Amino acid sequence: MNLQEAMAIYLPLIENGLRRALASPRPTVAQHHGMMHYHMGWVDEQLEARPAAGGKRLRPLLCLLTCQAAGGDALTALPAATAIEILHNFSLAHDDIEDNSPTRRSRAALWTLWGVPQAINVGDALFAIAHRTLAETLQQGVAAKHVMQLTQAFDATCVALTEGQYLDMSFEQRMDVTVDEYVEMIAGKTAALIGLSAQLGASLAGAPDWMVLHFREFGRHLGLAFQIEDDILGIWGDESATGKSASTDILEKKKSLPVVYALGSDAGPDLQAIYRRPALTAQDIAPVLRLLDAVGALGYARRMAEEAHQSAQAELAATGLGEAALTAVRELAAMLRGRSS
Amino acid sequence: MNLQEAMAIYLPLIENGLRRALASPRPTVAQHHGMMHYHMGWVDEQLEARPAAGGKRLRPLLCLLTCQAAGGDALTALPAATAIEILHNFSLAHDDIEDNSPTRRSRAALWTLWGVPQAINVGDALFAIAHRTLAETLQQGVAAKHVMQLTQAFDATCVALTEGQYLDMSFEQRMDVTVDEYVEMIAGKTAALIGLSAQLGASLAGAPDWMVLHFREFGRHLGLAFQIEDDILGIWGDESATGKSASTDILEKKKSLPVVYALGSDAGPDLQAIYRRPALTAQDIAPVLRLLDAVGALGYARRMAEEAHQSAQAELAATGLGEAALTAVRELAAMLRGRSS
């Protein structure tokens, strides 16, 4: 099965799984769940059915594809895949508040519409429901001992997410962030959850531990590459493709990889002088871009992303699985690599 | 063992369990954990060791006491008890932001010191670590199938907490909250977690399902009584004992039980006229108190609390356990009842 065929089958299953997991249990909390449904892209701000972009469901798709690649029945991994996507959406809901980002997927963010208190609580509910959904793996006939292993991996990822987010926020005040620290940050904030997606899929296929670890590392490297490419798009991306204005990350003074690299290079002092200002304006973009260009920050970031992609491929090869089994997984990795948004 | 003896043994164990669960794994995230340690009352705002009131650890104590009462080794329940206290502290960290409360236990709240973004994330970390800690029950030799049952009860409680919080916030805008709706709110926000404490303790003692349910219902009714008494203290409490100024709940226009009751009584129209104002001042307190007195709101709330206490006692009796086994649990319930803060 190639990626296109897999997406045609799995994406509707994922969406059904998400809808079932997030259904309101009773009328008194219907609005609480309605806000979740808005965040998932199913309803508008009046909570009336009007589909919007709800995200690409990459993580649950990866989970199902790795399960299938490792010889399992992808359906066994559906609760885990659903739990992962809900966990991802929990982190987006809180990130938007923490980053003061008023929009998400070209619509108003949760907190913009319903205020910070409700948005925090909706995020917490998504966090709680993600855990509840993972436990439903028991109903797939998977042994409790196995589900507990998945639960512990899931919990470790949740902790890693908050560590990555802590580091990201702590970087805002600092000019001396190293590339190693940056990698630690995105390992927690982005790569851990993509690694988990591949890990749980392979584990639920009954793959041996060593193979599960290769899948996890595949996902982790893919996640690192994904985030670095996101950093590149955040500075040099095509506005019409990314949906957020180019250079947004400069205006927000984000310590993304190109900036971290340049701050530690010859351009460091000049870049610091700009980044120490309380706020940047459109006029600061060109000087920042010139400094990044002068030290080859784009090339550096591209090489880092390329290395992460190659590591991901090496991990995939180390699973020892044949090309036919890995087709859809490889295509998904290639799709992420080629994306412009 | 009576309550005093049990507290002398168990409280230090709980504190150790909490410190182990929340220890920083590496220097790069030491401040992230330092903020958790502040919230727990172990360090000051410079993150230097200076003990402060960290809460009474009622929930973990109840968990250990019910385990012991049901014939188990309380130590088996230590990870679960620790997880429950961390979960409780997660909810406090987020509640303080959501309620815009600048202080917690007579000190600055997390968000007051480190800002809303970090405080949200520290709360999320506590949430994640609570789950991770519960899974450590496996290391007590408890079967994975049993730990999964506890995990599912824990997850259900997490969901209930967010539902209760949603209802509480939604009540702010409403004048027509019924007593039934109020009870649904506190069942989620307060009673579910106290019920879980007793449930997990009894379950980890190996008690039969029917007895575990009686312990859970005991905890739930105790939690309802606890919250209603908290409501009473929030209006008529002794400021020097509660640590927050008397009538705080009136100034914040909280839809606590006495107010909900009075809004639905003959005093409703007059009380609504006051509660519809954008903000209340000290001058509004006396008229509100007069309206509450006129319809006997204090007596009503006291009767509701008393009923909940009696239901709790009935559930305890239904466990069929002897008086000796239940001594400390009964004393804990009595202590909660007699508290003035």
Domain ranges of chain B: 3-338
Separation of alpha carbons B250 and B267, rounded Å: 15
Separation of alpha carbons B179 and A82, rounded Å: 37
- Tokens representing A78 are 């559906």
What are the pLDDT tens digits along chain A (341 aa)?
Answer: 899 999 999 999 999 999 999 999 999 999 999 999 999 999 999 999 987 877 899 999 999 999 999 999 999 999 999 999 999 999 999 999 999 999 999 999 999 999 999 999 999 999 999 999 999 999 999 999 999 999 999 999 999 999 999 999 999 989 999 999 999 999 999 999 999 999 999 999 999 999 999 999 999 999 999 999 999 999 998 766 655 566 888 998 999 999 999 999 999 999 999 999 998 999 999 999 999 999 999 999 999 999 999 999 999 999 999 999 999 999 999 988 876 54
Separation of alpha carbons A262 and A266, rounded Å: 7
SS (H, E, C) B208-261: CHHHHHHHHHHHHHHHHHHHHHHHHHHHHCCHHHHCCCCCHHHHCCCCCHHHHH
String of DSSP letters for A20-80: HHT--SSGGGHHHHHHHHHHHTSB-TTS-B--------HHHHHHHHHHHHTTS-GGGGHHH
B107 φ, ψ to 5°? Answer: -130, 170
Cα B207 to Cα B3, B73, B201, B211: the distances in Å are 21, 12, 9, 6
Closest Cβ opposite residue B144 in set A31, A148, A167: A148
What count of other Cβ atoms lies within 10 Å of the Cβ of residue B27?
7
String of DSSP letters for A160-178: HHHHHHHHHHHHTT-S---
Quick one: residue A61, left, alpha or beta (phi over 0 = left, psi -120 to 50 = alpha)?
Answer: alpha
Assess whether pLDDT exceeds 60 at residue B48.
yes
Instruction: Give the chain A residue whose CA is nearest to the CA of B136.
Output: A152
What count of other Cβ atoms lies within 10 Å of the Cβ of residue B16?
12
Residue-wise pLDDT for B271-295, tens only, equals 999 999 998 999 999 999 999 999 9
Q: Which residues contact B135 (CB under 8 A, 6 or more apart)?
A: A148, A151, A152, A155, B79, B147, B151
A125 neighbors A36 (Cβ within 8 angstroms): yes
B185 neighbors B164 (Cβ within 8 angstroms): yes
In the prediction, which pLDDT does A341 show? 47
A133 neighbors A83 (Cβ within 8 angstroms): yes
In the CATH scheme, what is the homologous superfamily, with its name and number, of domain B3-338?
Answer: Farnesyl Diphosphate Synthase (1.10.600.10)
Name chain A contacts of B100, Cβ cutoff 8 Å.
117
In the prediction, which pLDDT does A340 show? 54
In the prediction, which pLDDT does B341 show? 47
Residue-wise pLDDT for B205-263, tens only, equals 999 999 999 999 999 999 999 999 999 999 998 766 655 566 888 998 999 999 999 99
Chain B: closest CA distance from residue A98 (Å): 4
In the prediction, which pLDDT does B143 show? 98
Report the residue of B26, B29, B145, B193 to disrupt the A interface, i.e. the one with the largest count of A CBs within 10 Å. B29
B208 neighbors B199 (Cβ within 8 angstroms): no
Name the 3-class secondary structure at B199.
Answer: helix
Name chain B contacts of A124, Cβ cutoff 8 Å.
94, 123, 127, 158, 161-162, 165
- AA identity, residue B39: H
In the prediction, which pLDDT does A243 show? 56
Separation of alpha carbons A94 and A83, rounded Å: 17
**Tokens 């408890």 found at:** B142
Residue-wise pLDDT for B75-98, tens only, equals 999 999 999 999 999 999 999 999
Closest Cβ opposite residue B120 in set A97, A145, A163: A97
Task: Please give the ipTM for the structure prediction.
Answer: 0.96
Report the predicted TM-score, pTM, of the whole model to 2 decimal places.
0.96
**Tokens 């236990």 found at:** B105
pLDDT tier at B4, thresholds 50, 70, 90: very high
Cα B171 to Cα B184, B232, B285: the distances in Å are 12, 18, 20
Separation of alpha carbons A265 and A270, rounded Å: 10
Question: B76: buried, middle or exposed (CB in 10 Å: 19+, 13-18, 0-12)?
Answer: buried
Closest Cβ opposite residue A184 in set B28, B31, B152: B28
- Tokens representing A203 are 């584990």
Chain B: closest CA distance from residue A99 (Å): 7
**Tokens 């007069």 found at:** B290
R_g of chain B computed on alpha carbons: 20
- CA within 13 Å, CB half, A253: 20
In the prediction, which pLDDT does A53 show? 78
Partner B, chain A 135-154, Cβ-Cβ below 8 Å:
135, 138, 143-145, 147-148, 151-152
**Tokens 């997850």 found at:** B155
Instruction: Give the chain B residue whose CA is nearest to the CA of A189.
Output: B121
In 3D, which of A190, A67, A39 has the Cα closest to residue A126?
A: A39
B199 neighbors B216 (Cβ within 8 angstroms): yes
In the prediction, which pLDDT does A246 show? 65
Separation of alpha carbons B267 and B259, rounded Å: 10
Separation of alpha carbons A325 and A305, rounded Å: 25
Residue A265 is given by DSSP the state S
**Tokens 């209760």 found at:** B164
Q: What is the Cα B193 distance to its own chain's centre?
A: 7
Question: A255: buried, middle or exposed (CB in 10 Å: 19+, 13-18, 0-12)?
Answer: buried
B339 neighbors B228 (Cβ within 8 angstroms): no
Cα B26 to Cα A184, B22, B33: the distances in Å are 12, 12, 10
Question: B282: buried, middle or exposed (CB in 10 Å: 19+, 13-18, 0-12)?
Answer: exposed
The torsion of the CA quartet A257, A258, A259, A265, rounded to 10 degrees, works out to: 110
> Hey, which CATH number is domain A3-225+309-338, 1.10.600.10, 3.65.10.10, 3.40.50.150, 3.30.590.10?
1.10.600.10
Q: At what angle do helices A30-40 and A110-135 cross, to 10 degrees?
A: 100
Cα A173 to Cα A267, A285, B89, B235: the distances in Å are 19, 20, 27, 42
Separation of alpha carbons A148 and A138, rounded Å: 10
Beta carbons of B120 and A125 less than 8 Å apart: no
Closest Cβ opposite residue A148 in set B32, B127, B135: B135
Q: Which residues contact B185 (CB under 8 A, 6 or more apart)?
A: B164, B167, B168, B171
A127: contact with B, CB 8 A cutoff: yes
Beta carbons of B155 and A147 less than 8 Å apart: no
Beta carbons of B121 and A165 less than 8 Å apart: yes
Instruction: Give the chain B residue whose CA is nearest to the CA of A156.
Output: B132
In the prediction, which pLDDT does B248 show? 82
